[in-house]
Structure 1
């Protein structure tokens, strides 16, 4: 067959289509010999992307799955074969040489990116020495740049972390920090905390420090604690967040550190002792343990004298806090403040039955128990490790029943009932007995007062108040029982009465500046505080709610206005927790509040705390000493 021709089916020769004929659009391609049009090359390509008369196209992008991984794998193959490598890294610690590709290193590490793309000398060098870098860690990290995987082991993770920090390979740094956080133990947490601080690993440092605080009692029994420097120990003892049952444990930890190397460390006794809250130790402990440990050191003796004065002259405590350091020594650590219980109260469901517990060290609330049934406007007090709930109303009738919650095992039991049915009463413990003050019996306002003897397990009446009071604030100050404000049948009250158990008499004190019903009352540093409340007729209680707070000085029998709460409210709960007054919940006229605030008498400021789980008003608030808190 002629190269330029093809044979038709009939045997006739047909010219082979030339380049010119194709371009002209004609070709003989029919076994009958009939000439037909053959589209040009441009027309053929156009027909692939044309559909009818549509003028739109459907472009798309192609993505090869795994392309990046395959490319890195190829680069790793080149690395293993020693091909295309353009830099050699030398570990300064042991001289190990590691070849690599600048592009791969720059893509994985900001350190290498700055080195190779900037105007540094190393950008032109073929061999670069990295001072103080471990060879094994360097090799592992270079391999990570190609594979994205690395082995973390207890014996090498710290070296790997310090090297990844230097080379700014952040993903490895984070992985090492997470690994070390999972290995935290009382025997190593101090070392990990110091290491994290040195490497500027903030998250790991915070995590390890918090772990140290949480497990302080176990930490002080380990070797790392005894090997701390004086400055490191000072930072630890200076924290109010260390978890201890009492201040004696902190002093014992200090003493064990001194005795580990007494010749060298005795000189630091005053510096460290000034961080111990000596006024919060018992006088007996100070005499039996602190004084012998201090010897004749005059500065230490001054600290001891300050602590003893705190115990001997309680009425002068506010005058003794003259410096920041003396204030810090009288401020309890968070774990020694105990916890706060908020019991019942009115909520959006017409009566809460849950008991919430506040942990000051964690600044958080949890539901720790439930009441036996719904009660409103009842009274609560702590008698040792027992929570006593008195009176109230159940929605139908006013109660005289009394219930007792054993904090240790969480069980409820009934106590003998009061002689009078009461809701809106105030309850407080004075000395050993518990007092139930005033209230309403369902028919009339009350001025009667009953006393519960926990030894004889009986109720008896004591002298009545001069005024009938319901929703009054009741608190104990300097061995006396105070009844503050409240309301009688006609109006809210500003009057205040004080009961002396030795004489069985009530005396009238200076009235408050404002009338206050639904007032919260608490005691801090020998002062009585009245919080919030309202001054309105029973027919319109929303007419006037207060955010203002007054403080009563029994020495001068005067009231003073101090810093206000964050918002107006009545039916607010109040209680002393450690050295701070805490205001809980309340009602602002629209809603039952979750708000919790803490008052610092030293700065005269209120600070917001974590909110309640359930907003509530007229809840009873009591503090639980740390020795009664279940761990």
Structure 2
């Protein structure tokens, strides 16, 4: 049939585009296209005609479709796809449309994804439209620097930055993207600032950033609605007693970017009582709760157990710890874009069994202990230091009231809380908080139980203290309400745990590994605050204790 077509033999239809004539057989065209079938078998005038003119299909696209009708193959390239897909869509040739969409999806990059999204919406290609929008969200930090992004309409930008699945390390990225879009044509776009600022989750920005924003950005300072939004965001930080009422609002809902739990370092082995037989790890594993799978990352320079782990600006930091021979003060960070670890400035003190946290763009190292001096016992620290990424330096801060190792530390409402631990003589239940504005520690209500080697986390404006030792292994959990300055007991874990990892993700608290007093654990449990219930998840590849744990989107 194709040879007959090529030689114009027994052809009964001519498709004309401009001056170009394409000879074909009606039955062949009708077999691959409902459009042609209706044209040649229905009551349309073309049924009896020997020539049909097409004014809205490109000549090359129609040639390719006729070729497909006879050979079952179609050549799709960047030069042809923009004319071929509309033609195949009009002629209702689903397989060609599907192949064009698959090709465009394979070509997605930060510079063309917005255009492909528009193209897909125009021609009703739903799956391609979803794929392009998903790509925009997952690669937003690169997309927001492209020409296509700056040419978005205000309604298109509203839809993108309102998306819960926007993949950003911090909400600052969203604000800066909006600011750049406004400044691209400030006279025309300034009128949209207040509307679009509603799409930025301002309460998720730090107090430091919000304050600087008010002082430095005259576009926001001069707009009454924008100032109101900033004030509401600051209330979220400074009035935690009202925080739960904010929680249902879009402005305070965290972005649902793909995140993983990173388990860093730790101890492996079956010899729980024999320190010399334990292997101290430099391995890093990441757990994806969506797929319930573990992935290994590049190893650290140093083996570390009882270390501190934090995420700052999308990079994973491993601080201090113990390598089996020495207590450490070294610090290294994992950079996802280049998939490697790099050293940063070491802490002022060696620290093991300490806590680390991020507050206002700075990393804090709190408490812990270092090596014993001469014949003395280990010195349990009440010292605190913080690292400034801009200067790559550590600065000593006001000491805590109590020396604490194996403590828990969290950040809530712009303040740093230090909970429980061990001071070298007693297990502690006392709690104190550091207020950066006045640079001092203040006591808060003590926990119900003494806890050491436990984990703490913040969820929905509440502090959770989980498991630990004091002086027996525990699976109990208690929760602190800052508006009442009081603790209450909540559901217990299935396993007793000390020296385990913890992460908050997707509205749940995850606990990972640890030791139950008999053996190392590979188990993982998840706490649902709304159900007040723990659920057992898929275990780690191997048992770990003394691991650092943090949630991140580094994969």
Q: Same fold (TM over 0.5)?
A: yes
Contact kept in structure 2, 1:594 and 1:613, CA below 8 Å = no
Write out aligned runs for 1:181-580 (5 A): 181-244=105-168, 246-262=170-186, 264-279=188-203, 280=205, 282-293=209-220, 295-296=222-223, 298-311=224-237, 313-316=238-241, 318-319=243-244, 321=246, 323-328=248-253, 331=254, 334=257, 341-347=262-268, 351=279, 352-356=281-285, 365-370=295-300, 372-373=302-303, 378-380=306-308, 387-391=318-322, 394=324, 401-407=327-333, 410-411=342-343, 425-428=353-356, 434-437=365-368, 448-451=380-383, 473=408, 475=410, 478-483=415-420, 496-499=429-432, 509-512=446-449, 519-524=454-459, 527-531=462-466, 546=475, 549-561=477-489, 568=495, 570-571=497-498, 572-575=500-503
Please list the CA deviations of residues 361-405 of structure 1 after superposition, one character each: whole Å capped at 9, or x if unmatched.
9998541323634x65x242559896322348x4xxxx6622413
Residue from 100, 104, 108 that aligns with 1:180: 104
The alpha-carbon deviation at position 507 of structure 1 amounts to 8.1
The alpha-carbon deviation at position 274 of structure 1 amounts to 0.4
How has the CA–CA distance of structure 1 residues 137 and 561 changed in structure 2, closer, same or farther, with 3 Å as cutoff? Answer: farther
Corresponding residue for residue 17 of structure 1: none
Task: Tell me the distance in 2 between the aligned counterparts of 1:216 and 1:411.
Answer: 28
SS at 1:83's partner residue? coil
How has the CA–CA distance of structure 1 residues 516 and 253 changed in structure 2, closer, same or farther, with 3 Å as cutoff? Answer: closer
How has the CA–CA distance of structure 1 residues 561 and 445 changed in structure 2, closer, same or farther, with 3 Å as cutoff? Answer: farther
1:125 aligned onto 2:47: yes
Unaligned runs of 5+ in 2: 271-277, 335-340, 387-392
Task: Tell me the distance in 2 between the aligned counterparts of 1:130 and 1:371.
Answer: 66
1:161 aligned onto 2:85: yes
Number of residue pairs aligned between Structure 1 and Structure 2: 513
Corresponding residue for residue 584 of structure 1: 512
The alpha-carbon deviation at position 260 of structure 1 amounts to 4.6
The alpha-carbon deviation at position 262 of structure 1 amounts to 5.0
SS at 2:320's partner residue? strand
SS at 1:187's partner residue? coil
Contact kept in structure 2, 1:342 and 1:357, CA below 8 Å = yes
Task: Tell me the distance in 2 between the aligned counterparts of 1:510 and 1:430.
Answer: 23
How has the CA–CA distance of structure 1 residues 157 and 459 changed in structure 2, closer, same or farther, with 3 Å as cutoff? Answer: closer
How has the CA–CA distance of structure 1 residues 400 and 460 changed in structure 2, closer, same or farther, with 3 Å as cutoff? Answer: farther
Corresponding residue for residue 21 of structure 1: none
Task: Tell me the distance in 2 between the aligned counterparts of 1:459 and 1:504.
Answer: 10
The alpha-carbon deviation at position 146 of structure 1 amounts to 1.0
How has the CA–CA distance of structure 1 residues 225 and 460 changed in structure 2, closer, same or farther, with 3 Å as cutoff? Answer: closer
Q: Which structure has the larger Rg over C-alpha atoms?
A: 1
The alpha-carbon deviation at position 109 of structure 1 amounts to 4.1
Contact kept in structure 1, 2:220 and 2:226, CA below 8 Å = no
Contact kept in structure 2, 1:472 and 1:485, CA below 8 Å = yes
Corresponding residue for residue 337 of structure 2: none
Contact kept in structure 2, 1:598 and 1:608, CA below 8 Å = no
Higher relative contact order (CA 8 A, sep 6+): 2
Higher strand share: 2
Task: Tell me the distance in 1 between the aligned counterparts of 2:396 and 2:179.
Answer: 48
Contact kept in structure 2, 1:438 and 1:445, CA below 8 Å = no
Task: Tell me the distance in 1 between the aligned counterparts of 2:366 and 2:326.
Answer: 14
Task: Tell me the distance in 2 between the aligned counterparts of 1:163 and 1:230.
Answer: 31
Task: Tell me the distance in 2 between the aligned counterparts of 1:503 and 1:216.
Answer: 39
Please list the CA deviations of residues 233-291 of structure 1 after superposition, one character each: whole Å capped at 9, or x if unmatched.
11111134445565444334324434555565444332211012333161343224545
TM-score by length of 2: 0.71
Task: Tell me the distance in 1 between the aligned counterparts of 2:147 and 2:349.
Answer: 56
Task: Tell me the distance in 1 between the aligned counterparts of 2:5 and 2:197.
Answer: 60
SS at 2:65's partner residue? helix
Two-structure CA RMSD over aligned residues (Å): 5.3
How has the CA–CA distance of structure 1 residues 580 and 271 changed in structure 2, closer, same or farther, with 3 Å as cutoff? Answer: farther
The alpha-carbon deviation at position 509 of structure 1 amounts to 1.4
